[in-house]
Structure 1
Amino acid sequence: MPARRTSTPSAAAPALPALGGRKSSYRERVADALRAALIAGELRPGEVYSAPALAARFGVSATPVREALLDLAKEGLVDTVPNKGFRVTAVSEKQLDEYTHIRRLIEIPTVVDLARTADPVSLEALRPAAQEIVTAAAAGDLIAYVEADTRFHLGLLALAGNAHLVEVVGDLRGRSRLYGLTALVAAGRLLASAEEHLELLDALLARDEPAVREVMTRHLGHVRGQWAAPGS
């Protein structure tokens, strides 16, 4: 196995969103963007990234980036490498299977129940996020895709009124890396997956439980069947 290298930003690498606003918000916003980059596979497993190099991509100082990476280390998404930076943790095939299985057990019945219980106004309020997912997919912007996708799915699950359930699924989403997103972009399949969010909303608003179950089952199948790369 070749030696791992410390990664630095390159001209070809998609830039993470620049951050502004109050300094106190940097840590949380950097952590969110880094988490999205990890899920999208922009930051690769086994690679070591330094806080200063990532800070250059954000256009902020290294301190909030280092603090955000320490937060991600507590979540098990990265490991600290003394005097070098942070290594992105790898996810095994067995782990991916387990995470996806748990997500199916939780998310499918929960969302199907929302076809009966969710307020139509609250469902419709998720449409802008669903449209953002489609827009990001069309542009091939993976980080924006993951950020909007996370807002949509966790916002949808929040309508069930169980905050702990949302927290559990959020953690599982972070651990289930979508290494194959770039391949979906190249194959032109990411847009079809993105449009399923609008299809799901329409089925929920129509109170069509069988359609909601079919869309959710198909959509979560992408997490393991299409997005997860073999040998990860």
Structure 2
Amino acid sequence: MVLCPPGVYRAESDTEILTDVMLRGGYASGRDVLDVGTGSGALAVAAAHAGARCVTAVDLSRRSVLATWLNSRLHRAPVRVHRGDLFAPVAGNRYGLVVANPPYVPAETAVLPRHRKARCWDAGPDGRALLDRICRGVTGVLAPDGHVLLVHSAVCDADLTVETLNEEGLTAQILTRATIPFGPVMRSRAALLEARGLIRPGQTFEELVVVGASA
């Protein structure tokens, strides 16, 4: 269990599903790992405990950077923490595994919040504001034999994530799917999602997907 101060994304089902895939597949063992948009640092800590050679975590939020630093110390997990926008703080470095649980909930507008808790989940009208940037930029930090693990809701179009990663020269596929009840944010956005055709009328469950890609 990691500490989650106010304003920091709390590890939930999506983090658990991605962690499970990472552990079962042995993806972190012996590799340099990058956790992009680390939040509380839950994935980074899990990677360190799974035998990663070294773990680096990045987040734009000062609170998340502090939370990750604190959680890594409390859990005795050696994690380097950087504040910055996606891959910018680690430009020039290469990693054997890149993991990400980015904001992916479709929002009213394309304007991404910077100083509200909604920054933990708002991701533009189609939920892909961060996903597309990660897919397009990850090859710049990926080792020649590296792997990528991404988790997001199926409302954001998992096939498009696979297609975009493939276009960047990676070999991508959906590794696992899990159906969970809508959480508070998805429930509050149900009418919006339905109006945009992203969910069925009356839908109260969402499908989470983990997309994996290899160089």
**TM superposition score category, shorter chain reference:** under 0.3
Q: TM-score, normalised by structure 2?
A: 0.27
Which has more helix, going by share of residues?
A: 1
Q: TM-score, normalised by structure 1?
A: 0.26
User: Which structure is larger by alpha-carbon Rg, 1 or 2?
Assistant: 1
Relative contact order, higher structure (CA 8 A, sep 6+): 1
